[in-house]
Amino acid sequence: MTGPHIGMRATAWAATVVLGLTSGGALGAGTARADDPIDTLSARQIADRSSDALLGARSMHLSTRSAPADGGAPTTLELTMDRAGNCTGSVGLGGKQGSVQIVKRGNTVWVKPDADFWKNRDPSVGSALAAILAGRYMKGSASDPRLSSLSSACDLDTFQKVVSDNAETDKGTLTKGKKTTLAGAPVVPLVRTWHGQKLTMYVAATGKPYPLRIDVTGGSPKADATVGFSAFDKPVPTTTPPPDETVDINAQLTRAT
């Protein structure tokens, strides 16, 4: 099952996009009081506070959409995840490449590829697995090599660690825009330009200064992507697929490989 590796790649890519706007301290943030309104701060100060808010989140919903440079169908990621490694959501591989639903609780993970996913796998193996699953979830250990890429993508700790471990790099020019609204919520946009690429991050202007959305355009190869953040500190849904909708990956699927 090579397709689900996009889950980990998409999560790492999203973390890289975040780094493009929240990393670095070389510009000098200066001093500001904790209660100063976000829109009165400098671009660097807003970026730092937004990074701190993101790294402090206990759970969140991550949404990504990335169109390839060749104009093909976009890949997507929709995950609600927490620091305990619990998650629920889906990974879209783009166009007719298919999609995979995922649920993870503790060390157990359930994944359900759709019909298009199986059509694009090795014909003999893909058709055999699809017949065995019959629309059900594959269930297994999060450490199983066949499922570990998706399992890793589900961990908010992993996402935050990528951001934290690489937070000392500065690129291009960072500027602050005028306070505006995003989906009815007051936000302050930050814009970073670097090598022809433009990243725009919308930071919540009330409450905690979470990043709410990042748009990426331009560059070479040309980028067209969006990363969205929501549902901060809200519990990950606990519902898991019932036994009659699952197939144990070790007990059944080895006969098809």
What is the token pair recorded at 206? 């009330």
List CB contacts of 58: < 8 A, sequence separation 6 or more: 82, 83, 156, 233
Report the distance separating Cα 9 and Cα 3, nearest Å.
11
pLDDT in tens, 89-115: 998 888 888 899 999 999 999 999 888
List CB contacts of 238: < 8 A, sequence separation 6 or more: 86, 105
Q: Which domains does the chain have, with CATH numbers?
A: 5-238+246-256 (2.50.20.20)
What is the token pair recorded at 194? 């670097």
List CB contacts of 93: < 8 A, sequence separation 6 or more: 3, 6, 75, 99, 100, 117, 120
- Report the pLDDT value the prediction gives residue 84, as an integer from 0 to 100: 92
Amino acid at the residue 89:
G
Q: Residue 194: is its pLDDT beyond 90?
A: no
**Contact status, residue 109 vs residue 103, Cβ threshold 8 Å:** yes
Where is average pLDDT lowest: 12-26, 184-198, 231-245?
A: 12-26
Q: Are strands 108-113 and 87-92 parallel, antiparallel or unpaired?
A: unpaired
Q: What is the number of alpha carbons within 13 Å of residue 159 lying toward its C-beta?
A: 36
Strands (E), 83-172: 87-92, 99-105, 108-113, 137-141
With cut-offs at 50, 70 and 90, classify the pLDDT of residue 41. very high
pTM, 2 dp: 0.85
